[in-house]
């Protein structure tokens, strides 16, 4: 929505990180083929994850008119 400096408002920011490999996926890539645990060949979780975050609310109150 457009910002109207005469009205009260609340905002927050949401952030999405670029998808990246889970630490367990990296671990599986570093192990020799004969030493891979079952989780590497039949993963329980996806190998790629995307972290998310959001800010606390940002409150805006217009200045009082004189």
Structural domain boundaries enclosing 17: 9-60
pLDDT the model gives residue 62: 94
Number of domain units in the chain: 1
What pTM was computed for the model?
A: 0.53
Q: Are 49 and 64 in contact (CB under 8 A)?
A: no
List pLDDT tens digits, range 8-61: 999 999 999 999 998 888 888 899 988 888 888 877 878 899 999 999 999 999
Residue 2: inside a domain, yes or no?
Answer: no
SS3 28: helix
* Any domain includes 66: no
Asked if residue 4 belongs to a domain, the reply is: no
Q: Is residue 24 part of a domain?
A: yes
33 in any annotated domain? yes
Give me the pLDDT at residue 10, please.
94
The pair of three-digit structure tokens given for residue 20, joined into one six-digit string? 């990246």
Is the pLDDT confidence value at 66 over 70?
no
pLDDT value of position 25: 87
């Amino acid at each position: 929505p457009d910002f109207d400096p005469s009205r009260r408002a609340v905002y927050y920011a949401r952030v999405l990180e670029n998808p990246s490999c889970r630490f367990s996926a990296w671990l599986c890539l570093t192990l020799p083929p004969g030493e891979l645990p079952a989780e590497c060949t039949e993963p329980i979780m996806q190998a790629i994850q995307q972290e998310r975050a959001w800010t606390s609310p940002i409150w805006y109150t217009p200045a009082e008119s004189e």
